[in-house]
């Protein structure tokens, strides 16, 4: 009945968890939601003021399909200031979030017969979008033992004569791994010599906790500007998930192709959202740093709470706002046997919503978002630890031998 492509594409599992939590909440249950990959902060005042002004000025009609000129210029300017890369506004298209930026890019660049190399555990929409474009996603596995670092040699060795591009996400969702510039340089040199695309998903670019040089746009621009595509978003940096505003920056033909695709699908991003984004980009930037500091202290505090149970093996993330612990030590064939089942039971019994590793191609792990208040984190982790220690489907922690 449905098109053949739907045999391969499933609904987004990251959005699913939030829906389930909301459903349970409607029945009167007090749910702690660690599923949502979205900031709990409010949108900055500058964005809200600009949005209200746009409505009052009746700025409520179609805009140019690729976005208003002032916003495209503001985005290009941001990349000039942050990374020292030069793009004219015509090489920017405003999209409905980072998701549409990546979708347009995959549709514009990849098709049947092409392989696209990316990494796992990774954000599920990247591989699904490659499939929607008719191409084949090739995922390189990163390891907890390496802090989920994307080892450049693993990407390089996955390249074949059919590889048309590489999609990298740094800081990464769900691992929080931040790619060092030197690693990207190795991949870029190889990509440049083969003439393949490198697409960089920079959605979490302003959420980096450690002093890790992360001028990835410059690394690519210096080596292969004609094969570099940058995607980004207002969602995480400015707590603007619902406004749906992101962008693609790249060579003129790619941006034009994204514009053609968008002209037949969603047209322009909501005019009011575009003005709001312009307000945020042009307004006070203290909020960005303040949110980062708050995420950092939540990360540090919550990581300590987790260590109360040695069976939860946690790599402290360097970026984004997720923990991605290995919980395989809690699983057993006769008890809770998968992380998906664990997440289900945790929601039903302890009313804590988390996203199972299966969503990111990594069974045995959980994604726990710390884009939520410290009080919620404290209570949620307390419930999680209590669940682990009381469920009769989880092996008992062996008592420490007496000294």
**Interface residues toward ligand GLU, by CB under 6 A:** 12, 14-15, 37, 99, 123, 125, 173
CB 231, min distance to ligand GLU, A: 13
Would you say 98 or 250 has its CB closer to ligand GLU?
98
Going by the DSSP 8-state scheme, the letter that residue 333 receives in this structure is T
CB 199 within 8 A of CB 102: yes
CB 315, min distance to ligand GLU, A: 18
- Dihedral of CA 75/81/83/84: which sign? positive
Would you say 217 or 246 has its CB closer to ligand GLU?
246
CB 53, min distance to ligand GLU, A: 28
Beta partners for 208? 319
**Tokens 């990594």 belong to which residue?**
362
Strand blocks (E) in 134-173? 136-141, 163-169
Taking alpha carbons only, the member of 162, 169, 56 closest to residue 105 is: 169
Q: Which residue is nearest to ligand GLU (CB)?
A: 37
Going by the DSSP 8-state scheme, the letter that residue 139 receives in this structure is E
Would you say 177 or 331 has its CB closer to ligand GLU?
177
Would you say 37 or 279 has its CB closer to ligand GLU?
37
Beta partners for 140? 119
Would you say 149 or 244 has its CB closer to ligand GLU?
244
Would you say 125 or 170 has its CB closer to ligand GLU?
125
| Phi, psi at 136, each rounded to 5° | -110, 125
CB 37, min distance to ligand GLU, A: 2
Beta strands at 115-120 and 136-141: parallel, antiparallel or unpaired:
parallel
Proportion of the chain in helix, strand, coil states, percent, rounded to 5: 45, 15, 40
Taking alpha carbons only, the member of 386, 380, 379, 383 closest to residue 368 is: 380
- Dihedral of CA 214/173/256/116: which sign? positive
Packing angle, helices 97-109 and 252-263, rounded to 10: 110
Q: For 307-321, b where at least 16 C-beta lie within 10 A, e where not — what string?
A: eebeebbbbebbbbb
**Tokens 């990546």 belong to which residue?**
102
CB 32, min distance to ligand GLU, A: 16
Give the tokens for residue 146.
């390496």
Would you say 123 or 148 has its CB closer to ligand GLU?
123
DSSP-H helix ranges across 224-338: 252-263, 271-282, 286-306
CB 201, min distance to ligand GLU, A: 10
Would you say 16 or 285 has its CB closer to ligand GLU?
16
CB 119 within 8 A of CB 139: yes
Would you say 163 or 355 has its CB closer to ligand GLU?
355
CB 81, min distance to ligand GLU, A: 25
């Amino acid at each position: 009945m449905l098109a053949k492509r739907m045999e391969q594409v499933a609904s987004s599992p990251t959005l699913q968890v939030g829906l389930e939590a909301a459903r349970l909440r409607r029945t009167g249950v007090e749910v702690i939601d660690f599923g949502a990959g979205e900031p709990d902060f409010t949108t900055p005042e500058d964005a809200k003021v600009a949005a209200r002004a746009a409505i009052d000025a009746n700025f409520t009609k179609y805009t140019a399909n690729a976005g208003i000129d002032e916003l495209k210029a503001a985005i290009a300017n941001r990349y000039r200031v942050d990374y020292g890369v030069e793009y004219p506004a015509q090489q920017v298209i405003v999209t409905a979030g980072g998701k549409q930026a990546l979708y347009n890019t995959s549709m514009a660049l990849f098709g049947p017969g092409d392989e696209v190399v990316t990494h796992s555990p990774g954000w599920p929409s990247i591989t699904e979008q490659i499939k929607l474009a008719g191409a084949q996603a090739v995922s390189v596995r990163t390891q907890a033992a390496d802090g989920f670092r994307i080892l450049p040699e693993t990407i390089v060795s996955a390249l074949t004569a059919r590889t048309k591009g590489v999609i990298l996400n740094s800081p990464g969702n769900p691992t929080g791994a931040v790619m060092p510039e030197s690693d990207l340089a190795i991949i870029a040199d190889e990509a440049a010599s083969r003439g393949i695309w490198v697409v960089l998903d920079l959605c979490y670019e302003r959420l980096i906790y450690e002093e890790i040089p992360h001028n990835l746009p410059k690394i690519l621009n210096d080596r292969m500007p004609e094969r570099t595509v940058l995607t980004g978003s207002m969602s995480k940096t400015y707590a603007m998930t619902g406004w749906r505003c992101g962008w693609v920056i790249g060579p003129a033909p790619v941006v034009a192709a994204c514009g053609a695709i968008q002209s037949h699908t969603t047209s322009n991003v909501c005019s009011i959202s575009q003005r709001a984004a312009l307000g945020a980009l042009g307004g006070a930037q203290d909020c960005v740093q303040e949110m980062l500091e708050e995420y950092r202290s939540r990360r540090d505090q919550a990581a300590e709470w987790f260590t109360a149970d040695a069976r939860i093996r946690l790599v402290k993330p360097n970026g984004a706002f997720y923990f991605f612990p290995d919980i395989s030590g809690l699983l057993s064939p006769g008890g809770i046997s998968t992380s998906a089942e664990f997440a289900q039971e945790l929601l039903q019994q302890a009313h804590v919503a988390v996203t199972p590793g299966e969503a990111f191609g990594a069974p045995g792990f959980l994604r726990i978002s710390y884009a939520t208040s410290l009080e919620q984190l404290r209570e949620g982790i307390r419930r999680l630890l209590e669940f682990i220690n009381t469920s009769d489907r989880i092996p008992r922690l062996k008592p420490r031998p007496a000294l």
